[in-house]
Amino acid sequence: MITYWQMIPNGLLPLNSFEKGCIVNVTDPTPSEIGILKTTLKVPEDFLADILDVDERSRMEVEDDLLLMIYRIPYQNQSNGFPFTTIPLGLVLDKNSLVIICHRNNEVLDDFFSRSGKGITIETKIGITIETKIDLILHLFLRTTMFYHRYLKQINNQTAMIEQDLEKSTRNQELHRLLKMEKCLVYFTTSLRSNEMMMLKLKNSKWIREYEFSSDLLEEATIENRQAIEMAKIYSDIQSGMMDAFASVISNNLNIVMKSLTIVTIILMIPTLIASFYGMNVPNRLETNMNAFWFILGGSVILAFAGVFLLRRKKWM
């Protein structure tokens, strides 16, 4: 889907068609829309192929008058077995327009354009108003980092729920769920680090110095990205230690179950053994006694309770 937007003092205004100097938002493009990107919007074909590659890392390059950037954004998806991952976001900036391309619909762009399209003033938490397209890109980076923080908190909450299940679990299913959370954190950490390198390259680029932009906004986006890296690292370290600890817990829980079953087997073996002796077809001095059954039953119960008492005294149960 392709949508067109125009920057206004208090946000972004949706347009019906392409205009010079507008902002183009492209998500989940169809083959015909990819053709528009190549012909009308003059997006380099090789760069477009990189954007559609889900494993492409963050980077920045300049071709003639074009600034080409790939930025990794968080993506929430339950269909592939991993609740959270990252996908590439492409940005193509020239003197006339800004093209934002992502091969999947995502909450980051939906939130960014829905807020701006309702006339909400685009500004950061330190009150910097967005005036240029580069500032708009930096603000998009900042909003993306906020989604990283939001998803990291969701990962932490899901991990806490898995932890509660693990405390009494004897299965590996909870460990598999915890492993998925760990992989999500690895994806986030890797993407955040590549984003940090890309923003550092952008900050030191000779190209950007020729344009007006808010250095405070770039610094704020860099700081928020670094904080997200630290948060992801802390959560990852906690989960790594938690997986090792709960692997031992599951093994210990299984040993307790096996111990309980063994004790029950031993207790049941006592009356079974006595009944087996007196069930033999040989003289046992009770074959003519009318109360033989009750004697044998009572003796079996007494010996079974004696076994329970002995095991408790040994603190085996």
> According to the model, what pLDDT value does residue 147 have?
92
**Residue 231 sits in a domain of what CATH number?**
3.30.460.20
Let me know whether 109 and 229 are in one domain: yes
Asked if 270 and 307 touch (Cβ cutoff 8 Å), the reply is yes
Is 50 in the same domain as 185?
A: yes
Whether the model pTM is above 0.85: no
Amino acid at the residue 29 = P
| Residue 298 and residue 195 in one domain | no
Give me the residue label for tokens 């762009």: 109
Q: How far from chain centre, in Å, is Cα 199?
A: 23
Q: Output the pLDDT for position 124.
A: 44
Phi/psi at 273 (5° precision): -65, -45
* Alpha-carbon gap, residue 140 to 219, rounded angstroms: 13
pLDDT in tens, 108-140: 888 888 765 554 444 544 444 567 788 888 888
The contacts found for 106-113 with CB under 8 angstroms, 24 or more apart, are 106/27, 106/73, 106/75, 106/76, 107/76, 107/147, 108/73, 108/74, 108/140, 108/143, 108/144, 108/147, 109/25, 109/27, 111/143, 111/147, 112/140, 112/143, 113/3, 113/5, 113/12, 113/25
Do 205 and 114 belong together in one domain? yes
DSSP-assigned beta bridge partners for residue 15: 4
End position of a domain, from candidates 229, 252, 275: 252
Reduced to 3 states (helix: H, G, I; strand: E, B; else coil), residue 288 is coil
Q: Which two tokens stand for residue 290?
A: 């009318």
Q: Are 142 and 247 contained in the same domain?
A: yes
pLDDT for the residue numbered 298 = 85
Same domain, 170 and 78: yes
Token pair in block for residue 49: 């192929």
Which of helix, strand or coil describes residue 248?
helix
198/295 same-domain check = no
Answer yes or no: do 284 and 215 share one domain. no
83/178 same-domain check = yes
Q: Give pLDDT, residue 119.
A: 46
What is the C-alpha to C-alpha distance for residues 185 and 98, in angstroms, rounded to an integer?
A: 31
Give the domain CATH number at 302. Answer: 1.20.58
Residue with structure tokens 């980092």? 145
Residues written for the chain? 317
What number of other Cβ atoms are within 10 A of residue 81's Cβ? Answer: 9
Q: Which residues contact 86 (CB under 8 A, 6 or more apart)?
A: 72, 73, 74, 75, 187, 188, 190, 191
**Taking a C-beta distance cutoff of 8 angstroms, is the pair 74, 188 a contact?**
yes
147 and 44 in a common domain: yes
The whole domain housing 69 covers 2-252
Structure tokens at 81: 């077995």
Q: What is the pLDDT along the chain (317 residues), one digit of tens a residue?
A: 888 888 876 677 888 888 888 888 888 888 888 888 888 888 888 888 888 888 888 888 887 778 888 999 998 876 666 788 889 999 988 877 888 988 888 888 888 887 655 544 445 444 445 677 888 888 888 889 999 999 999 988 888 887 777 666 656 677 777 788 888 888 899 999 999 998 888 887 776 666 666 778 888 888 998 999 999 888 888 887 777 777 777 777 778 888 888 888 888 888 888 878 777 777 777 777 778 788 888 888 888 888 888 877 777 66
Name the residue among 41, 57, 24, 15 with its Cα closest to residue 194: 57
Same domain, yes or no: 71 and 136: yes
Handedness of CA 72, 76, 82, 83 (dihedral sign): positive
Based on the domain organization, do 137 and 160 belong to the same domain?
A: yes
Domain total in the chain: 2
